[in-house]
Amino acid sequence: MPGYLPPLADFRFLLQDWLKINEHYASLGLGEFDADLAMEVIEQGGKFAADVVAPLNREGDEHGCHLTDGKVSTPQGFAQAYHSYVENGWNAMLGDVNYGGQGLPYSMAVPVHEMLNSANLSWRLTTMLTESAVLAITKHASDELKAIYLEKLISGEWTGTMNLTEPHAGSDLSLLSAKAEPNGDGSYAITGSKIFITAGDHDWTDNIIHMVLARLPDAPAGVKGISLFLVPKFLPDQNGNPGKRNAAGPSALEKKMGIKASPTCVMNFDGATGWLIGEAHQGLACMFTMMNDARFQVGLEGLGASEAAFQGALSYARERLQSRAPQGIQQPNDKADAIIFQPDVARMLLTQKSFAEGCRALAMLYAKYMDIAHNAEDDRKEEANAVLQFLTPVCKAFMTDTGLEATSLGVQVYGGHGYIREWGMEQLMRDVRIAMLYEGTNGIQAQDLIGRKLTRDKQGMLDSTYRAFNELVSNIVQPNNKQTAEQLLQEWYTTSQTVKGFDPVNASGGACDYLQYTGYALLGVLWYSMADAASQCGNPHIAAGKQKTCTFYAERILPRMQGHKAALFAEAANILAVSGSEFDYL
């Protein structure tokens, strides 16, 4: 498996030259932060990802997790890496300073999270869900629960989980049947079974805090009758330390296509003691605090896989000698030229690069608006939240779709070797495939985008997003790039306004095409913006690389946008006509 190299030069360009991060922090009153500090954090995070976490990736995939006598063991080295992660404060980056967190801007933490995903997706998942649990508790839990659990979760002394899915209730949470009975002392007895629970049990920490959706006895039917509960693996004693074992634990480990080193558990709750988070019957709103964060984080998984696949494919393409380049001999002292000089291989590498760097820019723009949403004290906060709501399904779905494509291209560049386990490419492809499924399938993300965020939205999420990207366009200096970016953004906005008038049936039928159309269009705007900023950055390698990749994206990838647009405007009748008999052969 090829080694992982943190893309530090690209992060430096994005922060300093593209986002103008010093001005960004100053505008939010975050004077203690600047680009130098951000790069120091990112460099150290990259070093941890490359030196500590990445070397565990292949062995973790080979050995997987094991369940013995109700206890899960993870691959050798995983727990030790986590202890080092916690000791060095990485788990606390985004935590509330009142509970021991560092309160760093998202624009500092997101690059570290991307690099951890590139290095070892299975390992990253446990820390990711803990961060999401911290958000839900911070926003919705009582002060009493915060005092007991928040500091230990932020520090990483304990980890957290998200328990939604049940065997009969996946994306349709209205079918959820887990029960919560009042105990009479302010706690509840939680009973039910949950599946697909990431890090439901492991050997990293001495306690695990489960966030569980369940129904109270008086709950109304449907999603309006769901409540959220905090259920610890061990009930804290009077000193806040793990005490009595709770009636919650794993009954099985899922056998999966990928992320084999991540313990995905079937969890049973047999009258387990839990406490209500937020208001009764408002659990879905509380859980969405976790889910929206997790959806963006899953997008980072796709981005991380794209970068890892690109690095592996590039390394191999430079070393693998085969045939002569059609444009003429490139390595006269060798018996053949490296395959990187083959136009089709270069096409695949540039596709990977355009996705990885384009989606990284999208992630960093998202992080910028997360900074604003958490720190602004004026109208910018509401505007930022509208942008984030619109972009969340795009980040989750488009970044994971392109992640799968980039890893598939990684296998293709390696040829037959890409299909062999020892080279690592096939693992990247297997691991990232789940990212298109969990935290809401990409089809559900598309329905969310075209439904809640567009056709049924009355708060102007589309307009806020248009203004955010128009700000990027307005800062472009080169006339040709500026004009082309303006036209692209305006076409997307005009088309979106038309789609906003779709009836529910046609909106549902065109949802996936609208999300893809949006992804390719907005990535195109980002590429024109980056190419322009790179031309002024003073780094000739960055300048040349961004311009070439921008041209490639515009001419070779962006045309996909028009195909999705054509499909988007096709009537849904050709889908609705399907009755079932069309699939019968006998």
> Would you call 550 helix, strand, or coil by DSSP?
helix
DSSP for 209-226 reads EEEEEEB-TTPPSGGGG-
Q: What is the pLDDT of residues 202-215, one digit of tens each?
A: 999 999 999 999 99
Band of the pLDDT at 534, cuts 50, 70, 90?
A: very high
Q: Which two tokens stand for residue 388?
A: 């984030």
pLDDT at 291: 84
Instruction: Determine which helix (DSSP H) or strand (DSSP E) holds 68, and give its type and residue range.
Output: strand 66-68
Class of residue 88 by CB neighbours under 10 A (exposed 0-12, middle 13-18, buried 19+): middle
Q: What is the pLDDT of residues 83-127, one digit of tens each?
A: 999 999 999 999 999 999 999 999 999 999 999 999 999 999 999
pLDDT at 2: 67
Angle between helices 283-319 and 425-433 (to 10 degrees): 160
Task: Determine contact, residues 533/472, Cβ cutoff 8 Å.
Answer: no
169 compared with 86, residue with greater pLDDT? 86
pLDDT for residue 240 is more than 90: yes
Looking at the domain covering 8-140, what would its CATH class be?
mainly alpha
* Interatomic CA distance for residues 545 and 555, integer angstroms: 16
pLDDT for residue 173 is more than 90: no
- The answer as to CATH 2.40.110.20 being correct for domain 159-281 is yes
pLDDT for residue 580 is more than 80: no
* Domain 159-281 in the same topology as domain 8-140: no
Q: What is the pLDDT of residues 416-464, one digit of tens each?
A: 999 999 999 999 999 999 999 999 999 999 999 999 999 999 879 999 9
Q: What is the pLDDT of residues 358-406, one digit of tens each?
A: 999 999 999 999 999 999 988 999 999 999 999 999 999 999 999 999 9
Q: Give Cβ neighbours of residue 451 (< 8 Å, ≥ 6 apart).
A: 504, 507, 508, 511
Q: Which residues are catalytic?
A: 439
> Would you call 157 helix, strand, or coil by DSSP?
coil
Q: What is the pLDDT of residues 9-27, one digit of tens each?
A: 999 999 999 999 999 999 9
The model carries a pTM of 0.97
* Interatomic CA distance for residues 222 and 195, integer angstroms: 20
Domain assignments of the chain as residue spans, ordered by start: 8-140, 159-281, 441-573
Q: Give Cβ neighbours of residue 352 (< 8 Å, ≥ 6 apart).
A: 306, 309, 310, 313, 406, 409, 410
* Interatomic CA distance for residues 520 and 526, integer angstroms: 10
Alpha helices, DSSP H, located in 95-174: 106-119, 121-140, 143-145, 151-155
Q: Determine the residue type at 554.
A: A
Q: Average pLDDT of 315-341?
A: 96
Instruction: Determine which helix (DSSP H) or strand (DSSP E) holds 72, and give its type and residue range.
Output: strand 71-73
167 compared with 56, residue with greater pLDDT? 56
Return mean pLDDT, the chain: 95
Report for 281-290, 377-386, 575-584: range of highest mean pLDDT: 377-386
pLDDT at 1: 60
β-pairing verdict for 248-253 and 242-245 = unpaired
* Interatomic CA distance for residues 496 and 482, integer angstroms: 21
DSSP for 457-510 reads --S-HHHHHHHHHHHHHHT--SHHHHHHHHHHHHHHHHHHHHHTT--HHHHHHT
Q: Average pLDDT of 286-291?
A: 84
* Interatomic CA distance for residues 355 and 351, integer angstroms: 6
* Interatomic CA distance for residues 472 and 529, integer angstroms: 6
* Interatomic CA distance for residues 359 and 486, integer angstroms: 20
Q: How far is CA 214 from the centre of its chain?
A: 26
Task: Determine contact, residues 111/422, Cβ cutoff 8 Å.
Answer: no
Angle between helices 121-140 and 78-87 (to 10 degrees): 50
